[in-house]
Structure 1
């Protein structure tokens, strides 16, 4: 017991520690690249909360709160001149936190709450990371990103009003920064985590590195050199690259190319202070991202639908081939049965008729009557032969009492009782629909049940056998189900169908029936479905 629980307890402690360590290291580094057009640490928080569901979400929140309170130590240690801090290198930011007023401290910790509320929306909509390949999933991700962005903008609006600093452009920048951070990082994280998205990912990355990266570098370098409206036009051309990657590789291509474009704009903003306002750059990235990701998702869905359609067409071709083969085999079986009946009539009935004619000819020549017992025996034999042939063509009990009663009180029960089986039958649904059952379906169902019970008697070693019929009307069609099960020792992989079952299955497929075997514990279960129009015309079951 100790060995089985020790790994789980270890994991319970290691996972939170790993999350805190990861965030404490990565968060300060991401802060260094939040200069203008994105807030990747918000996207990281959102992605971790979305992917690490359940109890780990609490630790993600704790980790980002700690990182936010303690995140300046890297800035002060490695970038003291950039931020103008006069604290000794390496000092923790707790001094700043303790010296700040409570409103500033609380507002500084609300970014993680904004991301959490966006993730909770996705949880409410039941959107998982593996659903980004669907348009609905991608749209809901953008709605969650918008929720996170609106809450982040409202938070900073309150702060602007609190400090009486008219920095409304800063509020818009925060809004776009939150939105872009989620829109960039969350798809990339899902792409790396979900196995279904990693298939073929190397090809997407290779094309992005070989084409999108150099094109982005050339366009942005030229834009910085030209400047003005010409430079802005060159930057807008980057949207074409995002769309092309979306066309070629779906939303994954759009996400990777959008990340390359955003990084390029970030680098350009770091070295060119003469660019247009941050909000203009952010709006461009937002529009490009939304268009590229949604367009890529729509492309993926179309490709998936095409593949599915091709698969269905292939299945239809195989089904049509099976139906043609089944119809041909059923016709061969029918011809064979007719030949057997003809031979039986010729051999047995013909012999009896020949003997009767011989007796009558001798009696006529001798002028005497043949023995009555002899004539009676010949006529009984002829009648039995005729009756046997007629029963093989169509059991009279079906016309006399109907399908269910024929199974419950006819030859099927007789075979089961003779073998010592406990045989039970049950009729479910609307029994009045039996009168609408076509002769072909009725005879087919009777024959299959009869053959199945015979196989149980011969091969299963069962002590119990049950037959359940169910009739229902669905969309103007009559659905007939049969369930035959036993408690024997049979297994599906051991099931061998003799000529009787094989021939019946071919005929069943030819009229659109479905036949399925499954294992019980113990025993086997045969599930049979026939479907026909209420007018009596059988239809194919898809």
Structure 2
């Protein structure tokens, strides 16, 4: 038994260890990556929290974007990094102010510490959770709808932070004194009084957090989606060549006359530059142009002599940035729509070409079958009828001598009728005059004229254009044109109740293709709507469409006009 234990235990022990080792290694790797993300967040958040572009909270935008771009399992580490950075910034500000607070050298008490440090990262995550609920992710293609939802989500995060900031001020209990003035950092814009000052403070913080988020979140979406990398080089190149010199010129002009009304005009021109860049490069161009413009405005506002209150300046940046991003997203949507439309048109053109080729092959197969049937009828029935007629003539004397002349005469008449009928069938299958005389002559002097005149109608045929081009028509196009005239004239004879029928052909060379126009007109009762369902017109339309043509039918009062076009590409010339 001991031996069995000795031989059976060792294989199980390494097996359990092999399972535990990868799990432990994966956990240690996750912890290491989490600590690294926390340190990175703190390292980015600390300087941004101290400067914050002076009037907009870019640190909040960095945290919002990081939460949006990273999986939720990394959120605790990001929260920890942001809280650590805020604690470091608080201690630094307390030490630099010379008036440290009683709690951790900056805050008045534990409640203020929690409100100022612990809650803000969690409140910023509210907008990110809303984006995830709407299924708007940074790796997805950016559309106008998703950009609008990003703006709404950033506004929700900014509003949640502002509620916390107002609660902090109320808990601190020092509204209206110098301490509040140092927090507000702005003159009241809504009238005198504590509540007006508090409202100005809330509006300023809301705009600052909102701007910080809309400045950074589009850049995060840009970086997160590899599909956005391919057009990045021309955008960055245009920014360096055109956008940066514009911003430098803006700073030089605005700082040359600080405090003047020139700054207002320059800001309007700056907004125009942002919009033009968004029009050129879409929402990515808007993202980079708004970021550069905000930096230029912040530098101008804090280096030069301020003209506006911070709130008015924030509103300018917020409105310009939001509208530029939405406009850029709309431009990208339009471009994607145009690209899809072009692709659909190309696919439709390719499908049309395939259908045309298929219809043309069917038409060619029909003509081949007509030719075969005509040859078979001519060879078989024609020869048999000739032989029958010959035998009847040889036997005619015998029938006459036996007094049965009427019988042989009836048989001979029957054979002649059969020959005429077969000739008509052969003419309908493959007009001999078409090959012997050509298209126009076969219409003007052939079976079509006889059909009209036998019906008691006046017939006119005209040819316009270069008659030599008719010889360049391929057999399938020539036969199709003849069939079109034949069907149209047959409809006139059978249904129009007309006294006159006119056929006009016009042929010319356009865009490396032969264009053959066929007009058939009568002076009958008209009725184009009723004729459109006619089987003969359906045959005409099928032939014309197969040859990349078109057909129009119109009432002429009196009469009806059939206008058809047959096109033969240059590549199909004989």
Fold-level similarity (TM above 0.5) = yes
Paired residues for 1:397-412 under 5 Å:
none
Q: Which residue of 2 aligns with 1:320?
A: 352
Paired residues for 1:127-142 under 5 Å:
127-131=136-140, 133-142=142-151
Corresponding residue SS for 1:129: coil
Instruction: Tell me how far 1:5 sits from its aligned partner.
Output: 5.1
Q: 2:124 aligns with which of 115, 118, 129?
A: 115
**1:216 partnered with 2:247:** yes
Instruction: Tell me how far 1:140 sits from its aligned partner.
Output: 0.3
Number of equivalenced pairs = 361
Mapped to 1, the partners of 2:116 and 2:298 lie a distance apart of: 26
Q: Which residue of 2 aligns with 1:124?
A: 133
TM-score, structure 1 length as denominator? 0.58
Q: Which residue of 2 aligns with 1:26?
A: 44
Instruction: Tell me how far 1:177 sits from its aligned partner.
Output: 0.9
**1:103 partnered with 2:100:** no
Mapped to 2, the partners of 1:341 and 1:9 lie a distance apart of: 84
Q: Which residue of 2 aligns with 1:258?
A: 290
Q: Is the 8 A contact 2:274 2:290 kept in 1?
A: yes
Instruction: Tell me how far 1:221 sits from its aligned partner.
Output: 3.1
Q: Which residue of 2 aligns with 1:310?
A: 342
* Structure 2 unmatched runs, 5+: 1-14, 177-183, 185-197, 396-545, 547-574
Q: Which residue of 2 aligns with 1:204?
A: 235
* Structure 1 unmatched runs, 5+: 88-92, 365-509, 511-542
Q: Which residue of 2 aligns with 1:50?
A: 68
Q: Is the 8 A contact 1:251 1:294 kept in 2?
A: yes
Q: Which residue of 1 aligns with 2:267?
A: 235
Mapped to 2, the partners of 1:291 and 1:132 lie a distance apart of: 19
Mapped to 1, the partners of 2:85 and 2:103 lie a distance apart of: 11
Mapped to 2, the partners of 1:85 and 1:207 lie a distance apart of: 48
Q: 2:223 aligns with which of 192, 195, 199?
A: 192
Q: Is the 8 A contact 1:97 1:105 kept in 2?
A: no
Mapped to 2, the partners of 1:98 and 1:72 lie a distance apart of: 8
Mapped to 2, the partners of 1:53 and 1:343 lie a distance apart of: 79
Instruction: Tell me how far 1:190 sits from its aligned partner.
Output: 1.1
TM-score, structure 2 length as denominator? 0.55
Higher-Rg member (1/2): 2
**Structure 1 residues 202 and 84: CA distance shift in structure 2, 3 A:** farther
Cα deviation 1:270-320 (Å, max 9, x = unaligned): 323644221111111001101111111111111111111111111111111
Instruction: Tell me how far 1:68 sits from its aligned partner.
Output: 2.4
Instruction: Tell me how far 1:200 sits from its aligned partner.
Output: 1.6
Q: Is the 8 A contact 2:50 2:89 kept in 1?
A: no
- Aligned-pair Cα RMSD in Å: 4.1
Corresponding residue SS for 1:55: helix
Mapped to 2, the partners of 1:49 and 1:249 lie a distance apart of: 27
Mapped to 1, the partners of 2:317 and 2:55 lie a distance apart of: 8
Q: 1:174 aligns with which of 202, 205, 211?
A: 205
Q: Which residue of 2 aligns with 1:270?
A: 302
Corresponding residue SS for 2:236: helix
Paired residues for 1:394-473 under 5 Å:
none
Q: 1:162 aligns with which of 171, 192, 196?
A: 171
Q: Is the 8 A contact 1:188 1:255 kept in 2?
A: yes
Mapped to 2, the partners of 1:35 and 1:100 lie a distance apart of: 28
Corresponding residue SS for 2:308: coil
Corresponding residue SS for 1:96: coil
Instruction: Tell me how far 1:86 sits from its aligned partner.
Output: 7.8
Mapped to 2, the partners of 1:260 and 1:118 lie a distance apart of: 25
Q: Which residue of 2 aligns with 1:145?
A: 154
Mean Cα deviation higher: 21-30 or 106-115: 106-115
Instruction: Tell me how far 1:217 sits from its aligned partner.
Output: 2.3
Mapped to 1, the partners of 2:354 and 2:141 lie a distance apart of: 38
Mean Cα deviation higher: 25-34 or 44-53: 25-34
Q: 1:332 aligns with which of 364, 369, 382?
A: 364
Q: Is the 8 A contact 1:69 1:94 kept in 2?
A: no
Mapped to 2, the partners of 1:173 and 1:29 lie a distance apart of: 21
Mapped to 1, the partners of 2:201 and 2:53 lie a distance apart of: 12
